[in-house]
């Protein structure tokens, strides 16, 4: 049946919950109650019951209206305006004010499910962790951890189209990290939380990224937590590899293939000296079977190690000896060479070819960045990526500081990295 949903049905939901609050957790009983209270709108009753099955009450209790809308759209194939009406009805029934533009949408059954109005954007706030990866077409995708949770955005080249999407709300966000792995499709977003390493399928291509149900990939030892940093990459034979830590000293490898988790991974050499802690970790692929790891420690050291994807083993760490203490660092493979990019407290942006450094002849160089970025406060978080198998394509670099989050394309001229025009991803306001 076409036409708007009946406002009487939304009122019936509020009445049903006043009579019996436990109906919010029992979709089938709720559907029967709505059929009694609003018999003329069976379609609306089914939709509100679907909202109960999708977990809308719990999401709205946490103030996550946008996630509630997206869950109906992504996982339950609801049309955009139908999802908006259901979220609005549930919010009013639960006596919650919506924090976004979900209310008063005239839902009709003939709305297009792929409309640009696919739910509101959520403002993430200042990031405490940032990760960037490039899509197969070369465009950048960003993930961030903030005090508000874990977020992801696609389409930063066109901010009017790209929208932030909440991935998760985590405990102690200052201790968490996030990573993205787009190969193999559809891709995954990986983050750490108190109970372990969690993942969600990530689908790109719309105004807002689509997400699958969250699941637990790895569990910390008894009494521990999954902390920061974390790195993730797809295995060339399919599946996911995640490097994570529960003590910020030793790294563990969690592998997952189509047939399930992989046990017995080779131990990863320790990068930290006694009493030293990891403060950052990044990964980039250089060939189909090799890659590099980069880690930063709380003593200001920056170390790299080669990774063999054939057997998923890490080589020995070696110190890159930056000329100034880095506050953040990232890796990207540009024109077949893997570059470490580091920012210092004084505002310097430096780069080095880690493969050449392993052979003993590389030097640090200043990154050629636009004047607009030079005028910004010093970066405190970096993220970078490029497609190893498309050496002629530019890579991408994202910087976060008190002035906001910026993204820009990067290329190389010899050993020097050159930056393109910056795009404001988040203004810091």
Distance CA 349, CA 363 (A): 14
Query: 126: buried, middle or exposed (CB in 10 Å: 19+, 13-18, 0-12)?
Result: middle
The encoded tokens of residue 164 equal 């932030």
**246 Cβ contact list (under 8 Å, min separation 6):** 220, 221, 224, 225, 226, 227, 252
For residue 149, give both structure tokens: 């949770």
State residue 178's pLDDT score.
97
Instruction: Give me the pLDDT at residue 10, please.
Output: 86
pTM of the model: 0.77
Low-confidence ranges of the chain (pLDDT < 50): 1-2, 98-118, 159-160, 429
Instruction: State CA 122 to chain mean position distance.
Output: 13
CB under 8 Å to 72, separation ≥6 — which residues?
Answer: 50, 51, 54, 56, 78, 82, 83, 86, 87
Q: Spell out the SS3 assignment of the chain.
A: CCCECCHHHHHHHHHHHHHCHHHHHCHHHHHHHHHHHCCCCHHHHHHHHHHHHCCHHHHHHCCCHHHHHHHHHHHHCCCHHHHHHHHHHHHHHCCCCCCCCCCCCCCECCCCCCCCCCCCCCCCCCEEEEEEEECCCCCEEEEEEECCEEEEEECCCCCCCCCCEEEECCCCHHHCCEEEECCCCCCEEEEEECCEEEEEEEECCCCCCEECCCEEEECCCCCCCCCCCCEEEECCCCCEEEEECCCCCCCEEEEEECCEEECCCCCCCCCCCCCCCEEEEEEEECCCCEEEEEEEECCCCEEEEEEECCCCEECCCEECCCCCCEEEEEEEEECCEEEEEEEECCCCEEEEEHHHHHCCCCCCEECECCHHHHCCCCCCEEEEECCCCCCCCCEEEEEEECCEEEEEEEEEECCEEEECCCEEEECCC
What is the C-alpha to C-alpha distance for residues 190 and 319, in angstroms, rounded to an integer? 28
Write down all domains in the chain, each with its CATH number in brackets: 7-93 (no CATH), 127-426 (2.120.10.70)
Q: Are strands 149-154 and 165-168 parallel, antiparallel or unpaired?
A: antiparallel
* Cα 202 to chain centroid, rounded: 9
Backbone phi and psi for residue 192, each to the nearest 5 degrees, phi listed first: -105, 150
Q: Is the sign of the CA dihedral 402, 405, 410, 415 positive or negative? A: positive
Cβ(269)–Cβ(317) under 8 Å?
yes
* The pLDDT of residue 106: 37
Pairing status of strand 215-218 against strand 210-211:
unpaired
């Amino acid at each position: 049946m076409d036409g708007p949903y009946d406002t009487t049905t939304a009122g019936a939901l509020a009445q049903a919950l006043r009579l019996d609050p436990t109906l919010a957790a029992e979709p089938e009983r709720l559907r029967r109650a709505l059929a009694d209270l609003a018999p003329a709108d069976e379609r609306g009753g089914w939709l509100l019951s679907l909202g109960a099955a999708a977990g809308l009450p719990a999401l709205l209790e946490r103030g996550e209206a946008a996630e509630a809308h997206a869950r109906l759209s992504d996982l339950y194939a609801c049309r955009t305006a139908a999802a908006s009406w259901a979220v609005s009805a549930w919010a009013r029934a639960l006596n919650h004010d919506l924090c976004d533009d979900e209310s008063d949408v005239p839902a009709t059954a003939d709305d297009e499910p792929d409309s640009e109005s696919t739910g509101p954007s959520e403002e993430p706030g200042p990031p405490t962790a940032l990760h960037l990866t490039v899509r197969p077409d070369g465009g950048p995708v960003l993930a961030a951890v903030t005090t508000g949770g874990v977020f992801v955005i696609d389409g930063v080249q066109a901010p009017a189209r790209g929208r932030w999407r909440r991935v998760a709300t985590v405990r102690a966000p200052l201790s968490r990290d996030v990573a993205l792995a787009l190969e193999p499709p559809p891709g995954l977003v990986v983050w750490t939380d108190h109970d372990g390493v969690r993942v969600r399928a990530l689908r790109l291509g719309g105004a807002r990224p689509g997400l699958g149900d969250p699941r637990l990939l790895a569990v910390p030892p008894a009494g521990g937590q999954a902390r920061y940093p974390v790195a993730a990459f797809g295995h060339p034979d399919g599946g996911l590899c995640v490097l994570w830590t529960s003590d910020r000293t030793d790294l563990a490898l969690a592998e997952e293939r189509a047939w399930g988790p992989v046990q017995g991974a080779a131990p990863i050499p320790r990068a930290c000296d006694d009493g030293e802690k990891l403060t950052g970790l990044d990964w980039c692929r250089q060939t189909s079977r090799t890659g590099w790891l980069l880690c930063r420690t709380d003593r200001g050291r920056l170390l790299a190690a080669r990774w063999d994807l054939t057997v998923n083993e890490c080589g020995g760490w070696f110190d890159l000896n930056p000329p100034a203490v880095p506050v953040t660092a990232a890796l990207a493979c540009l024109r077949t060479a893997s570059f470490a990019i580091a920012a210092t407290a004084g505002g310097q942006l430096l780069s080095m070819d880690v493969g050449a450094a392993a052979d003993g002849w590389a030097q640090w160089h200043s990154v050629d960045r636009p004047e607009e970025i030079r005028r910004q406060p010093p970066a405190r978080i970096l993220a970078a990526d490029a497609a190893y198998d498309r050496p002629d394509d530019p890579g991408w670099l994202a910087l976060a500081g008190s002035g906001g989050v910026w993204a820009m394309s990067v290329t190389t001229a010899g050993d020097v990295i050159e930056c393109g025009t910056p795009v404001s991803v988040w203004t810091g306001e």
